[in-house]
Amino acid sequence: MRPRAARYLTSATRPAEFPAADLPEIAFAGRSNVGKSSLINTLAGVSGLARTSRTPGRTRLLNWFRIDLPKATHGNDAVYFVDLPGYGFASVDRSMRASWRPLMESYLGERSTLKVVALLIDIRRGVEDEERDFVPWLLEKRITVVPVITKADKLGKAKRLPIAAAIRAELGLPRPPVLFSSLEATGGDELWRALLAGLA
Protein backbone atom coordinates (compact mmCIF):
# COMPACT_ATOMS: atom_id res chain seq x y z
CA MET A 1 0.00 0.00 0.00
CA ARG A 2 1.21 3.48 -0.85
CA PRO A 3 -0.37 6.71 0.44
CA ARG A 4 -1.69 9.27 -2.05
CA ALA A 5 0.36 11.93 -0.29
CA ALA A 6 2.44 12.38 2.86
CA ARG A 7 3.64 15.64 4.33
CA TYR A 8 5.11 17.02 7.52
CA LEU A 9 2.59 18.96 9.59
CA THR A 10 4.18 20.20 12.81
CA SER A 11 6.31 19.39 15.87
CA ALA A 12 5.69 19.83 19.58
CA THR A 13 7.69 19.75 22.79
CA ARG A 14 4.65 20.28 25.05
CA PRO A 15 0.89 19.66 24.97
CA ALA A 16 0.06 23.31 24.19
CA GLU A 17 1.85 22.82 20.88
CA PHE A 18 -0.05 19.68 19.82
CA PRO A 19 -2.02 20.31 16.59
CA ALA A 20 -5.83 20.14 16.43
CA ALA A 21 -7.06 16.60 17.06
CA ASP A 22 -8.91 16.46 13.75
CA LEU A 23 -7.75 13.11 12.27
CA PRO A 24 -7.19 9.65 13.74
CA GLU A 25 -3.60 9.15 14.86
CA ILE A 26 -1.12 6.31 14.66
CA ALA A 27 1.92 6.88 16.89
CA PHE A 28 5.31 5.18 16.57
CA ALA A 29 7.15 4.49 19.82
CA GLY A 30 10.34 2.71 20.74
CA ARG A 31 13.88 2.94 21.90
CA SER A 32 16.13 5.58 20.45
CA ASN A 33 17.72 4.34 17.21
CA VAL A 34 15.21 1.46 16.83
CA GLY A 35 14.27 2.75 13.37
CA LYS A 36 11.07 4.75 13.98
CA SER A 37 11.79 7.55 11.53
CA SER A 38 13.06 5.14 8.86
CA LEU A 39 9.90 3.04 9.24
CA ILE A 40 7.67 6.10 8.86
CA ASN A 41 9.51 7.02 5.65
CA THR A 42 9.17 3.46 4.33
CA LEU A 43 5.44 3.27 5.09
CA ALA A 44 4.84 6.73 3.65
CA GLY A 45 6.91 5.93 0.56
CA VAL A 46 8.77 9.23 0.97
CA SER A 47 12.45 9.14 1.85
CA GLY A 48 13.48 12.03 4.06
CA LEU A 49 9.94 12.74 5.32
CA ALA A 50 10.97 11.99 8.93
CA ARG A 51 14.61 12.73 9.76
CA THR A 52 16.76 9.69 10.40
CA SER A 53 20.19 9.58 11.94
CA ARG A 54 23.00 7.37 13.05
CA THR A 55 23.12 9.39 16.25
CA PRO A 56 20.62 7.94 18.73
CA GLY A 57 18.24 10.40 20.36
CA ARG A 58 17.83 12.45 17.23
CA THR A 59 14.05 12.83 17.38
CA ARG A 60 13.39 14.81 20.56
CA LEU A 61 10.07 16.24 19.60
CA LEU A 62 6.72 14.76 18.70
CA ASN A 63 6.45 15.14 14.92
CA TRP A 64 3.14 14.96 13.05
CA PHE A 65 2.81 13.86 9.43
CA ARG A 66 -0.41 13.91 7.45
CA ILE A 67 -0.86 10.72 5.42
CA ASP A 68 -3.58 10.66 2.74
CA LEU A 69 -4.83 7.10 2.31
CA PRO A 70 -5.38 5.68 -1.20
CA LYS A 71 -8.92 4.71 -0.27
CA ALA A 72 -11.13 5.48 2.70
CA THR A 73 -10.64 3.03 5.58
CA HIS A 74 -13.25 2.83 8.34
CA GLY A 75 -14.52 6.18 7.10
CA ASN A 76 -11.14 7.95 7.13
CA ASP A 77 -9.34 9.17 4.05
CA ALA A 78 -6.35 10.51 5.99
CA VAL A 79 -4.53 9.87 9.25
CA TYR A 80 -1.70 11.45 11.19
CA PHE A 81 1.48 9.53 11.83
CA VAL A 82 3.21 10.72 15.00
CA ASP A 83 6.94 10.10 15.37
CA LEU A 84 7.52 9.97 19.14
CA PRO A 85 10.84 10.74 20.81
CA GLY A 86 12.80 7.56 21.52
CA TYR A 87 13.47 6.36 25.05
CA GLY A 88 16.39 4.69 26.73
CA PHE A 89 19.35 6.49 25.30
CA ALA A 90 21.81 7.21 28.11
CA SER A 91 23.70 10.13 26.63
CA VAL A 92 20.58 12.22 26.04
CA ASP A 93 20.90 15.07 28.51
CA ARG A 94 19.25 14.86 31.88
CA SER A 95 16.64 17.58 31.33
CA MET A 96 15.52 15.76 28.19
CA ARG A 97 15.21 12.47 30.05
CA ALA A 98 13.27 14.11 32.90
CA SER A 99 10.79 15.68 30.48
CA TRP A 100 10.27 12.55 28.37
CA ARG A 101 7.95 10.69 30.73
CA PRO A 102 5.44 13.49 31.53
CA LEU A 103 5.33 14.46 27.86
CA MET A 104 4.65 10.87 26.79
CA GLU A 105 2.10 10.40 29.57
CA SER A 106 0.18 13.46 28.53
CA TYR A 107 0.29 12.52 24.85
CA LEU A 108 -0.48 8.81 25.22
CA GLY A 109 -2.88 9.28 28.11
CA GLU A 110 -4.91 12.22 26.86
CA ARG A 111 -4.82 12.40 23.08
CA SER A 112 -8.46 11.79 22.16
CA THR A 113 -7.78 10.82 18.53
CA LEU A 114 -4.93 8.39 19.27
CA LYS A 115 -6.03 5.03 17.85
CA VAL A 116 -2.94 2.88 17.60
CA VAL A 117 0.56 2.80 19.01
CA ALA A 118 3.07 0.89 16.93
CA LEU A 119 5.71 -0.29 19.39
CA LEU A 120 9.05 -0.93 17.73
CA ILE A 121 11.63 -3.39 19.04
CA ASP A 122 15.05 -3.91 17.46
CA ILE A 123 15.50 -7.57 16.46
CA ARG A 124 19.01 -7.65 17.86
CA ARG A 125 18.19 -6.00 21.19
CA GLY A 126 14.92 -7.76 21.96
CA VAL A 127 12.88 -6.84 25.03
CA GLU A 128 14.46 -4.60 27.67
CA ASP A 129 13.20 -2.97 30.88
CA GLU A 130 11.54 -0.05 29.11
CA GLU A 131 9.30 -2.34 27.06
CA ARG A 132 8.48 -4.41 30.16
CA ASP A 133 7.19 -1.19 31.78
CA PHE A 134 5.66 0.40 28.73
CA VAL A 135 3.55 -2.42 27.30
CA PRO A 136 1.41 -3.06 30.43
CA TRP A 137 0.93 0.71 30.77
CA LEU A 138 -0.38 0.96 27.18
CA LEU A 139 -2.59 -2.10 27.53
CA GLU A 140 -4.04 -0.79 30.79
CA LYS A 141 -4.98 2.42 28.97
CA ARG A 142 -6.72 0.22 26.37
CA ILE A 143 -4.53 1.60 23.61
CA THR A 144 -4.28 -0.74 20.62
CA VAL A 145 -0.66 -1.86 20.43
CA VAL A 146 0.77 -3.09 17.14
CA PRO A 147 4.17 -4.60 17.94
CA VAL A 148 6.83 -4.33 15.26
CA ILE A 149 10.26 -5.92 15.13
CA THR A 150 12.61 -3.62 13.24
CA LYS A 151 15.84 -4.23 11.34
CA ALA A 152 14.74 -7.80 10.59
CA ASP A 153 17.42 -7.82 7.84
CA LYS A 154 20.06 -8.14 10.55
CA LEU A 155 19.11 -11.79 11.12
CA GLY A 156 18.66 -14.66 8.69
CA LYS A 157 15.05 -15.45 7.77
CA ALA A 158 14.95 -18.71 9.77
CA LYS A 159 15.77 -16.90 13.01
CA ARG A 160 13.16 -14.18 12.67
CA LEU A 161 9.90 -16.00 13.46
CA PRO A 162 11.18 -17.67 16.65
CA ILE A 163 12.33 -14.26 17.92
CA ALA A 164 8.94 -12.74 17.11
CA ALA A 165 7.21 -15.54 19.03
CA ALA A 166 9.53 -15.14 22.03
CA ILE A 167 8.97 -11.37 22.18
CA ARG A 168 5.23 -11.87 21.96
CA ALA A 169 5.30 -14.36 24.83
CA GLU A 170 7.60 -12.28 26.99
CA LEU A 171 5.47 -9.15 26.72
CA GLY A 172 2.10 -10.94 26.72
CA LEU A 173 1.19 -9.21 23.46
CA PRO A 174 -2.28 -9.70 22.00
CA ARG A 175 -0.86 -10.35 18.52
CA PRO A 176 2.44 -11.49 17.02
CA PRO A 177 4.80 -8.68 16.07
CA VAL A 178 5.16 -7.68 12.43
CA LEU A 179 8.67 -8.41 11.15
CA PHE A 180 9.83 -5.29 9.37
CA SER A 181 12.89 -4.02 7.56
CA SER A 182 13.28 -0.59 6.03
CA LEU A 183 16.48 -1.76 4.40
CA GLU A 184 14.85 -4.75 2.67
CA ALA A 185 11.48 -2.97 2.37
CA THR A 186 9.75 -6.02 3.89
CA GLY A 187 6.78 -6.14 6.23
CA GLY A 188 5.25 -2.89 4.97
CA ASP A 189 1.98 -4.29 3.62
CA GLU A 190 1.40 -6.45 6.69
CA LEU A 191 2.11 -3.48 8.96
CA TRP A 192 -0.21 -1.21 7.00
CA ARG A 193 -3.01 -3.77 7.35
CA ALA A 194 -2.46 -4.05 11.11
CA LEU A 195 -2.37 -0.28 11.59
CA LEU A 196 -5.50 0.37 9.51
CA ALA A 197 -7.37 -2.41 11.31
CA GLY A 198 -6.74 -0.40 14.49
CA LEU A 199 -8.75 2.52 13.11
CA ALA A 200 -11.98 0.52 13.34
Residues 6+ apart with CB under 8 A from 42: 182, 185, 188
- What residues from 35 to 74 belong to the interface with Mg ion (CB under 5 A)? 36-37, 59
- Three-state DSSP at 42 gives helix
- State the nearest-atom distance from the C-beta of 161 to ligand GTP, in Å: 17
- Residue nearest ligand GTP (C-beta atom): 86
Q: Nearest to residue 119, comparing CAs of 163, 87, 93, 94? A: 87
- Three-state DSSP at 179 gives strand
- State the nearest-atom distance from the C-beta of 39 to Mg ion, in Å: 9
Residues that bind ligand GTP (CB under 6 A): 32-38, 52-54, 56-59, 86, 150-151, 153-154, 181-183
What is the rounded distance in angstroms from the CA atom of residue 91 to the CA atom of residue 46? 30
Selection from Mg ion, ligand GTP, none that 32 binds (CB < 5 to 8 A by kind) is: ligand GTP
Smaller CB separation from Mg ion, 37 or 73: 37
Residues 6+ apart with CB under 8 A from 105: none
- What residues from 70 to 109 belong to the interface with Mg ion (CB under 5 A)? none
Smaller CB separation from ligand GTP, 45 or 56: 56
Which residues contact Mg ion by CB under 5 A?
36-37, 59
